């Protein structure tokens, strides 16, 4: 009997992460929803179980390495393996660079950049230890390539995610572990629904083919495709799930 795959999804309580958790579970994978929002995380797990899937919630702050290490250990203690690590938790702050509070700058880097590094390292070590030829998928962004006013720390963090993906892919390939990134454009989730300046959302829509926001389910579909063995040649790559987002 083929063992079910086990997928860990950070930021799995909301938006892209939530839809990805639902997608993997609907395909028969066991899912670990990791997030620091306990209430929304529990709700996601309850929804997956109600739909006949398998999932657990593990409260995690990805900016702390110990948390991510214990998330991976809990995953293996519960399900015996880890096949997919989706490093997706992320935050944004919109402030002109010269008005940026350094605490906010560090928070964005700690979650978006260090959180992904923690996930790559903790999951990569465990996959190597267990001899699992898994896949690590990181959420980058079009903002890892394109500059936009007011999102200085976010650009820095997503640029780092892109290069961490390429660097880790190079080193982990000897263990049969792939590392890839998905780069969404403008996705209809709380992260941008919360923009105080609604003109920014209209501006983002105009940059996308069809003048609309991408739905989180569409990004989840891309992440699922990247996780499949059929995507074995996609390694160290950043796959745009941005519907042509232009600068
Ligand atoms: P979201 O706000 O709906 O989801 C983010 C999730 O991450 C939330 O559940 C939140 O509780 C969790 N989270 C935040 N900090 C955390 C931490 N320290 N530890 C654990 N969990 C934490 O936003 P969305 O849009 O689903 O974002 C997911 C990823 O997609 C982020 O990395 C974001 O930067 C990226 N992205 C989003 C785009 C968009 O237009 N919505 C575009 C490009 C990239």
Please write the tens of the pLDDT for every residue from 180-216. 999 999 999 998 888 878 888 898 899 998 899 999 9
Residue closest by Cα to atom 10 of ligand 1: 11
For the chain, the domains span 6-187+216-231
pLDDT of 1 higher than 70: no
Residue closest by Cα to atom 32 of ligand 1: 90
| Ligand 1: centre distance to CA 15 (Å) | 7
pLDDT at 216: 98
- In whole angstroms, give the CA distance from residue 181 to residue 194: 25
Index of the ligand 1 atom closest to the CA of residue 213? 40
Confidence of residue 49 (pLDDT cuts 50, 70, 90): very high
Nearest Cα neighbor of 179 from 189, 188, 191, 171 is: 171
Phi, psi of 145 (to 5 degrees): -115, -40
Pocket of ligand 1 (CB under 6 A): 10-11, 13-17, 35-37, 40, 60-63, 88-91, 111, 115, 139, 141, 184, 186-187, 189-192, 216
Report field, pTM of the whole predicted structure over 0.95: yes
Active site residues: 154
**Three-class SS state of 188:** coil
Say if the ipTM goes beyond 0.95. yes
Asked if 34 and 21 touch (Cβ cutoff 8 Å), the reply is no
| Ligand 1: centre distance to CA 174 (Å) | 30
First to last CA, the chain: 49
Half-sphere exposure of 220 (CA within 13 A, CB side): 24
| Ligand 1: centre distance to CA 191 (Å) | 6
CATH of domain 6-187+216-231: 3.40.50.720
């Amino acid at each position: 009997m083929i063992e079910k795959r086990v997928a860990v999804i950070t930021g799995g309580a909301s938006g892209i992460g939530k839809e990805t958790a639902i997608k993997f579970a609907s395909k028969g994978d066991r899912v670990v929803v990791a997030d620091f929002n306990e209430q929304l995380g529990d709700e996601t797990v309850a929804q997956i179980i109600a739909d006949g899937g398998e999932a657990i919630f593990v409260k995690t702050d990805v900016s702390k390495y110990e948390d991510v290490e214990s998330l991976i250990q809990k995953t293996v203690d519960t399900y015996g393996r880890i096949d997919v690590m989706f490093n997706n938790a992320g935050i944004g702050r919109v402030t002109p660079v010269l008005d940026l509070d350094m605490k906010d700058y560090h928070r964005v880097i700690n979650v978006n950049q260090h959180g992904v590094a923690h996930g790559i390292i903790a999951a990569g070590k465990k996959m190597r230890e267990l001899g699992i030829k898994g896949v690590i998928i990181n959420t980058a962004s079009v903002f890892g390539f394109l500059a936009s006013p007011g999102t200085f720390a976010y650009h820095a963090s997503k640029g780092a995610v892109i290069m961490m993906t390429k660097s880790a892919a190079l080193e982990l390939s000897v263990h049969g572990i792939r590392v890839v990134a998905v780069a969404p454009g403008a996705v209809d989730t709380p992260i941008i629904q919360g923009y105080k300046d609604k003109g920014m959302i209209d501006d983002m829509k105009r940059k996308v083919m069809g003048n609309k926001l991408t739905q989180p389910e569409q990004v989840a579909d891309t992440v699922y495709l990247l996780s499949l063995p059929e995507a074995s040649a996609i390694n160290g790559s950043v796959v745009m799930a941005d519907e042509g987002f232009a600068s």
